[in-house]
Amino acid sequence: MRSVEGLTPWPAELAALYREKGLWEGRTLMELIEERAAARPDHPAVACDAMTLTYAQLLDRAHACGDRMLRAGLRADDRIVVQLPNGWQFVVLLLACLRTGILPVMALPAHREHELRYLVDHAEARALAAPLHLRDFDHAALAMKLRETTETLEFVLLQGDPSAVPEDTLALDSLCAARARDEEHVAVPQPDPSAVAVFLLSGGTTGMPKLIARTHDDYVCNVRETARHTALGDDTVYLGTLPLGHNFPLGCPGILGTLIAGGTIVPLASPHPERTFAAIERFGVTHTAAVPAVVATWLDHASTVGAEQLSSLRVLQVGGARLADELAARVVSLLPGRLQQVFGMAEGLINLTRLDDPVEIVIGTQGRPACAADEVRIINEESGQEVAVGEPGLLLTRGPYTPRGYYNAPEANARSFTPDGWYISGDIVVQTPEGNFVVSGRSKDMINRGGENISAEEIENLAYRLEAVRLAAAVAMPDAQLGERVCLFAVLHDEHVLELEHVRNAFQEWGVAAYKHPDRLETVDELPLTKVGKIDKKALRELLLASLPAS
């Protein structure tokens, strides 16, 4: 089968051990959801402004959607790039994929031609699901362009008014509709639990994001182990405002965890404070997840309008980027419910603070591994030796839900995984005596802009396309709101000029996601170099700090 190619399996003895310990249950994500649905068919599974779907209705639609995709010509093991805003259609399509074995590749709503073309090519996707039109962007036109100009793309599924969907594409809303009375059922076997369930995207340390193939076995483990620490139950109402294809709201424990627990998910297309507060109040939300930059806007809103609308909230998970201690303390004092810090990665390992941890741990640390079988090592980058407790070092990890390699990326694997299967996270952490991590920095060359991980190398490669640019280096610029922003240093060719506006316009024209557009441009005569002749990013960051107004 094609989905086996490009994967790095866990060693057979370990796989056997994970099965024996019950960490790998041998069940698919959809089997677990179907089991729950059978027990409480009339309970709301999805609730949003547009509609409420009970478990029975959700499953009916998911099965019908799967059947329709198969009848249209898609097959198990085909890949579909999914770029949808948060909404009920995302949930129906996801379950349809999990049931049929069509494999979703989780693109982000902010991705544009540059990223989507790469994802389609790399995953050899036969299908792409996108909205017709969203926030002034014509996704339909881009999807059709990609179908014409990529080798594998055949099916375009468009979300929105079915009567507005072009003829040679499929209307997602119709695919996701309830089954017609006389509509035929297609017999499909449940996928193999050890097979791939979804492809997640890495934050991307170099160049473009890598694909991470997550199996049913490993992702069920991810969901179950994180759910244990989050007090999920059948009365959970989970609000998803982060893009639902991201690991955090998808499976930590996120929407999948909530459905497996028999709760209700509330998808919301934006984390805008007013809309978020209204949704929490209207649906009685108990759990939600956010990145620090978003939480800061919620805190500001709460300090003007009060936090009464949030009284149903029990757990607020915050992660994706370092939550400053001061912000964490404000969350604890201003918002109802418990704060839970989550330090996770699409590659696997999820760390969380526990709901009954003392407040200083919840405020001052990013938590500890979700699962007893998670293995971690913290090493000195130069010597490769483990550091003493309390010393900063590079975090390496292995475990039952941390795959042993990226999908079909031998070079990236050689860089990011050790020969004995440890994932080199690139995060610099300190472990406290009680075992919690404090994330103190990164060794990988990444910019974390409000929780969006941006590869400096990708920005540099793009900058080199500009005629004026002779040398380029992208570095993180500290920012009160987003944590970090993108600063591009450039040495120009003689007689050339370059303004930030030109750079941003060019990135826009190339179809690069907006969050990657440089926020600042520094043109310099030369770039500082390290002793071995590499561009000295540390010196650049210092240069940048010195040129910024003191805050």
Binding site for ligand OOB (CB under 6 A): 202-203, 247-248, 252, 319-322, 341-346, 350, 366, 425, 427, 439, 442, 453
Q: Kindly tell me which of 215 and 341 has the beta carbon lying closer to ligand OOB.
A: 341
Are the beta carbons of 94 and 140 closer than 8 angstroms? Answer: no
Rounded Cα gap, residues 239 and 246, in angstroms: 14
Q: Kindly tell me which of 33 and 291 has the beta carbon lying closer to ligand OOB.
A: 291
Dihedral (Cα; 274, 280, 283, 289), 10-degree rounding: 120
Rounded Cα gap, residues 400 and 417, in angstroms: 15
CA 441 to each of CA 422, 425, 444, 454, 486: distance values in angstroms, whole numbers, following the listed order: 19, 11, 9, 15, 16
Give me the least distance between CB of 530 and ligand OOB, in Å please. Answer: 23
Give me the least distance between CB of 316 and ligand OOB, in Å please. Answer: 13
CA 90 to each of CA 62, 250, 264, 465: distance values in angstroms, whole numbers, following the listed order: 10, 11, 15, 35
Give me the least distance between CB of 526 and ligand OOB, in Å please. Answer: 30
Give me the least distance between CB of 348 and ligand OOB, in Å please. Answer: 9
Which residue intervals of 150-237 are DSSP H helices?
172-175, 216-228
Rounded Cα gap, residues 486 and 484, in angstroms: 7
Q: Kindly tell me which of 57 and 366 has the beta carbon lying closer to ligand OOB.
A: 366
Q: Kindly tell me which of 139 and 210 has the beta carbon lying closer to ligand OOB.
A: 210
Are the beta carbons of 159 and 89 closer than 8 angstroms? Answer: yes
β-sheet with 170-171: strand ranges across: 170-171, 155-159, 127-131, 79-82, 103-106, 196-201, 211-215
Rounded Cα gap, residues 223 and 467, in angstroms: 47
Tokens of 240: 């998803």
Q: Kindly tell me which of 346 and 475 has the beta carbon lying closer to ligand OOB.
A: 346
Phi, psi for residue 422 in degrees, rounded to 5: -80, 135
Rounded Cα gap, residues 160 and 132, in angstroms: 6
Phi, psi for residue 377 in degrees, rounded to 5: -135, 145
Give me the least distance between CB of 484 and ligand OOB, in Å please. Answer: 11
Displacement of CA 209 from its chain's centroid (Å): 11
Q: Kindly tell me which of 143 and 290 has the beta carbon lying closer to ligand OOB.
A: 290
Give me the least distance between CB of 175 and ligand OOB, in Å please. Answer: 29
Q: Kindly tell me which of 100 and 230 has the beta carbon lying closer to ligand OOB.
A: 230
Q: Kindly tell me which of 241 and 341 has the beta carbon lying closer to ligand OOB.
A: 341
Phi, psi for residue 267 in degrees, rounded to 5: -85, 135
Rounded Cα gap, residues 144 and 162, in angstroms: 16
Q: Kindly tell me which of 70 and 477 has the beta carbon lying closer to ligand OOB.
A: 477
Rounded Cα gap, residues 50 and 55, in angstroms: 16
Q: Kindly tell me which of 171 and 250 has the beta carbon lying closer to ligand OOB.
A: 250
Residue 245: HSE in the Cβ half-sphere, 13 Å Cα cutoff: 29
Give me the least distance between CB of 387 and ligand OOB, in Å please. Answer: 18
Tokens of 10: 């866990």
Q: Kindly tell me which of 350 and 487 has the beta carbon lying closer to ligand OOB.
A: 350
For strands 44-47 and 127-131, give the pairing: unpaired
Give me the least distance between CB of 346 and ligand OOB, in Å please. Answer: 4
Dihedral (Cα; 171, 176, 181, 186), 10-degree rounding: 100
Q: Kindly tell me which of 101 and 320 has the beta carbon lying closer to ligand OOB.
A: 320
